[in-house]
Amino acid sequence: MKIDQVQSHPFADQRPGTSGLRKKVSAFQQPHYLENFVQAIFETQKDLQGGTLALGGDGRYYNREAVQIILRLAAGNGVSRVLVGQGGLLSTPAASCVIRKYAAQGGIILSASHNPGGPDKDFGIKFNVANGGPAPEKVTQDIYDRTLLMSGYRQVEAPDIDIDTIGLNMLGEMQVEVIDPIVDYAHLMREIFDFDAIHQLFNSGIFQMRFDAMHAITGPYAVEILERMLGAEPGTVINGIPKEDFGGGHPDPNLAHAQELVELTQGFDPVDFAAASDGDGDRNMILGKNFYVTPSDSLAVLAANAHLIPGYRSGIPGIARSMPTSQAADRVAEKLGIECYETPTGWKFFGNLLDAGKIAVCGEESFGTGSDHVREKDGLWAVLAWLNLLAVKQQSVSQILNDHWQQFGRNYYTRHDYEGIDSNAAEALMANLRRLVLDIKGKRLGRYRVEYGDDFSYTDPVDNSVSANQGIRIGLSGGSRIVYRLSGTGTVGATLRIYLESFEPDPEKQNQETAAVMAPLVALGRELANVEKHTGRTEPDVIT
């Protein structure tokens, strides 16, 4: 089969963010744009030549076309075998599972995660390395550097492969194996969790649950595992059919974008437990009756109770959290006598810790939780972990949280997002904060005393690599914190995130309204950053 060398030209805007390259669909549809980026992956990741590649995505608009393009490029660059999810579909955690199970040399995941989908919305692509995790910074830098020198790419001339029928195909000399996207992942979940106990919970007659797949990738996974394998009643999974535009919704599992689910936990005869996942299946939101579990608390509770889950019965060696995530997990680690690592935002920073056996549970405040079973955050894993705890403890979600707070204290927590702001204005705001924290230690800010202020820098304890300028931290007396960071997951402008937490050790004060408790800290956070002056915004776009 003929291999074409197609001439192209570099694109200057192909630097991957914290989760790969994300742009509008129209950007990826430009001639040579996707091809250049994928060619850069093949030219910098030499192990793929003669090796195995996993391929799939969240099914958003342009997913199927991108899969065919990548298959032709893979064949043109000497890849020996591609494992592609049926229909071009693989959730992000399932892709990590496939890479690890079949010892692939890497994987290409097509997703813009929780960003909206559709012809005029977002698309994304990222490379995962052989451990199943997101490419570390050195790899993404190498890929980006190569894109700036791109003058052409190699592809085979061939018609589209049938990706809807499970089985083996040939594309030139390359094997294309279309695999069931669910079966390997579902088998892994059965190995970790007590499916018998969860099955009994669903068949108790007194427990009701709803899972909102948000018309995204986890719909088929949730139906198979929750309804068919675990015996949840049909209809437990809502919005379960994946759609290219996510049904016109925003596949971000939070209080703002999952209102239908939130309403099912409130009012007359609410469900006992509710959960949601995002576009590519790596995020989660956990709810109980009239009760919202912050991702920070979810991580802490799962870590504290991991020994109740069969896959972690012997205990966990350590915990990791991203820097903006609340310090609730730190308190658990201290009582368990294990290490808690504070990393920059981005799941790739957990990879070395997981591979070295330093941690087994990790999470981010941005609705991501996971463990050492794969090297990605995993929405359904978190849901199953909570179901396992509910089945064993025979308590409600709120009871589990209240017991946890009484033992470890409560970290009240909130995040304010200012989306799509001018990038220059956002950078100026951060630059001012960097100057501010240089001599802020010891000062009094309202009722607080500043214990430290810095621009967070992380030294990886495994390979000693350094990641600087990861966000502004201001630590306050009594365990409170304010954190500022610019997000790397959007496609237009900049997103300023302000993270705020206040520690409350007194059980008598642990059931107050979060908004009321956090109001003084929220006001202080805006004032310190001069948010309105720099951005023109008086209110955040999203509060979680």
> Which residue in 19, 96, 111, 113 is the catalytic one?
113
- For β-strands 361-364 and 368-371, DSSP reports them as antiparallel
| Residue 113 known to be catalytic | yes
CB 34 within 8 A of CB 25: no
CB 1 within 8 A of CB 154: no
Q: Which residues pair with 502 in a beta bridge?
A: 412
Q: Which residues pair with 287 in a beta bridge?
A: 274, 292
φ, ψ of residue 202 to 5 degrees: the values are -65, -30
Q: Which amino acid does the sequence have at 118? A: G
Residues contacting 231, CB < 8 A, separation 6+ = 199, 202, 203
Q: Residue 492: CA atoms inside 13 Å, Cβ hemisphere, count?
A: 11
Residue where the block lists tokens 């991108």: 66
Eight-state DSSP code of residue 524: H
What is the distance between the alpha carbons of residues 460 and 467, in angstroms, rounded to a whole number?
8
Eight-state DSSP code of residue 172: T
Structure tokens at 355: 């591979």
Comparing C-alpha atoms, which of 38, 76, 80, 41 is closest to residue 154? 76
**Could you give the C-alpha distances from 349 to 106, 209, 363, 485, in angstroms and in order?**
17, 33, 11, 17
Structure tokens at 354: 């997981």
Across 243-260, b (16+ Cβ under 10 Å) vs e yields bbbbeebbbbbbeebbee
Comparing C-alpha atoms, which of 223, 247, 220 is closest to residue 235? 223
How far, rounded to the nearest angstrom, does the alpha carbon of residue 97 sit from its chain's CA centroid? 15
Structure tokens at 79: 């890849």
What is the distance between the alpha carbons of residues 95 and 108, in angstroms, rounded to a whole number?
9
Measured from the Cβ of residue 434, the count of other Cβ atoms closer than 10 Å reads: 14
- For β-strands 318-322 and 339-343, DSSP reports them as parallel
Torsion of CA 272, 278, 283, 284, to 10 degrees: -10
Eight-state DSSP code of residue 438: G
CB 411 within 8 A of CB 500: no
Across 216-239, b (16+ Cβ under 10 Å) vs e yields bbbbbbbbbbbbeebebeeebbbb
Comparing C-alpha atoms, which of 171, 156, 14, 148 is closest to residue 84? 171
Q: Active-site positions? A: 113
